[in-house]
Structure 1
Amino acid sequence: MPALNTSSLPDLIFTLLFFFMIVTTMREVTLKVEFKVPQATELEKLEKKSLVTFIYVGKPTAEFRKKLGNESRIQLNDSYAEVAAIQDYIIGERASMKEEDQPQMTVSLKVDQDTKMGIVTDIKEALRKAYALKINYSAQPRQ
C-alpha cells in the first residue's frame, strides 16, 4: 500500500480556517447602561442568536452618569437613543438580514429590574409600529 501524501493538508486546513473567519460575524456591543435583569422561573433559550436584536434599558454607566443623570436610558447598538429612534433602528436591523430570516427576527429587551414600566410600554409601542412583534424579555433563573 503506498504512503498517504499529506503535504497539502496544511493548505486545506488554512483555507477552511480562512473561510470560517470570513463568514463568521462577531458582534459586540459596548454597554453604556447598567442593568440587572429580573429573575423568572419559566425561561427558554433563544435558538438562533443571529436573528436576535437587542435593546438595552438601564441607568447610564458611571462615566456617563454626570452628563446624563440617573434616569433610565435606552441603548441601541453602541449609542444612547430615544424611543422615537427605535422604529428606524428595527427597520435597519431587519433590512440587514436575509429575506428568509426577516420574519423570524426577535427583539430581546434587556431591561434593568428597577426601570419604570412606562419606558418599557413606550418601547413596545415603537416595536409594534415597526412590526417587530416577536419580543423576548431577558431574565435570570430564579434561585
Structure 2
Amino acid sequence: MSIIRRRNHEVPSLNTASLPDLIFAILFFFMIVTHMRKVNLKVRYKTPQGTELTHLSRKTNTTYIFIGQPVDTTQAANTAQFLGSAQSQQDAAVCIQVNDKVVSLDELSAFLQREQHQARKSGEAQQLTVCLKADRHAPMRVVEGVKMALRKANMLHVNYYATEKAPSPAANP
C-alpha cells in the first residue's frame, strides 16, 4: 500500500503590477467628476425663481457678487460698516460679497475697477462677466446700488442668477 502524502500548495501571491494604473484611473475619474468650490460664502441667500432662464455658457473670468444676509453672527452685528453710512436700518441686515471678500456699497466700484484692471493685465478684460446672486428678499435699493457701481466700473456684461420655477399644476389643462 502506498502512503498518500499531502503536498503543501502555496497560494500564488497577488500581482500588484497593475495597481498603480488602477489607482491613477480612479484618481483621474474623481478629478473629472468633482466640482471644486472657489468661493467661501459669507452671505446667506435664497435665489429668486424664473421661467425663461439660460445657463452661463462660459464660467471662466466670472466675478461673482453675492447679496444677502451675513452668515457669521459677529459680522451681522457690524453690517452697517459694510454698507456705508447712507443706508437705512432696513438695509443694515444685508451684506455684499465680491468673490471672497465682503465689501461696502461705497467701495464696491473701486473694488470692481481693480478686478477689471487685473483682468486687463492678463488680457482677458473683454471676456469679464459679472454674475449677480441676490437674495430674493434683498432690498432693491441695495441691488440698484450694486448695478450703479457696476456701471461706474464699466462692467456692463451682467448675469442674474435664478433657479428654475416649477410649472404650476393649474396651468396644464
TM-score tier by shorter-chain length is: 0.7 to 0.9
Partner AA of 1:71 in structure 2: A
Shift of 1:94: 2.0
State the one-letter code of the partner of 1:44: T
Deviations 1:8-66 (A, max 9, x none): xx9xx9xxx9xxxxxxxx76211111000100111111121112100000011153455
Report the TM-score when normalising by structure 2.
0.62
Q: How far apart in 1 are the matches of 2:49 and 2:71? A: 22
- CA shift in 2, pair 1:95/1:67, >3 Å: same
Code of the aligned partner of 2:65: I
- In the TM superposition, structure 1's runs of 4+ consecutive aligned residues that sit over 3 Å from their partners are 62-66
The percent identity for this pair of structures is 34
Structure 1 residues 66 and 95, CA, compared in 2 at 3 Å: closer, same or farther? closer
Partner of 1:90: 112
Residue ranges of structure 2 left out of the alignment (5+ in a row): 1-20, 29-35, 80-91, 167-173
The unaligned stretches of length 5 or more in structure 1 are: 1-9, 18-25
Equivalenced residue count is 120
2:62 aligns with 52
CA-based RMSD of the aligned residues comes to 2.3
Aligned to 2:101: 79
| CA 1:127–1:66: 2 relative to 1, 3 Å | closer
1:68 and 2:78 matched: yes
* 2:88 matched residue in structure 1: none
Of structures 1 and 2, the larger Rg is shown by 2
Distance 1:64 1:136, change over 3 A: farther
Mapped to 1, the partners of 2:37 and 2:76 lie a distance apart of: 28
CA offset digits 1:102-121 (Å, max 9, x no partner): 12211111100000000000
**TM-score using structure 1 length:** 0.73
